[in-house]
Amino acid sequence: MSESTESVARQYIEAVGRRDLAPLDALFDEGMEARFAGSPSDKKEWTEALRRLLPILVRNDIREVFSNGSRACVVYDFVTDTSAGAIPCVELVSVVDGRITEVELILDRVAFAPVREELGRRTAQQ
């Protein structure tokens, strides 16, 4: 029996929040497509984008998870160690046969700006 859509979506957000990207390989379908601000990413690109966020990520605090069939909506706070603090986020996640096939991230890009700036500073210092 495959896991519920809600459970798979929750596992994904929780793994990222723990800063543990290893489970994503099994959670993401090989043909997975992610979208943020209209730009598509494949599994490898999305995982790498998440990896780039780890230096500022403290945790993800899940507020709500809703599901309807193969689609889940995860509402959470992306908690950072930057001046932005916690950024409210929504991810729409599609799950087929226990694997994530689609992700769409929705967030306030203005609220997220201090996170991008701090990531740029930290990257420049390395």
Instruction: Quick: pLDDT tens for 89-106.
Output: 999 999 999 999 999 999
Query: How far is the C-alpha of 110 from the C-alpha of 98, rounded, in Å?
Result: 34
Position 1 scores a pLDDT of: 38
Position 2 scores a pLDDT of: 56
Model-wide pTM > 0.75: yes
Instruction: Dump pLDDT digits (tens) for 39-87.
Output: 999 999 999 999 999 999 999 999 999 999 999 999 999 999 999 999 9
Q: Higher model confidence: residue 2 or residue 13?
A: 13
> In the CATH hierarchy, which fold is given to the domain comprising 5-125?
Nuclear Transport Factor 2; Chain: A, (3.10.450)
Non-local (6+) Cβ contacts of 61 within 8 A are: 17, 76, 77, 79, 86
Query: How far is the C-alpha of 119 from the C-alpha of 124, rounded, in Å?
Result: 8
- Report in angstroms the alpha-carbon separations of 123 from 18, 27, 54, 56: 21, 28, 12, 11
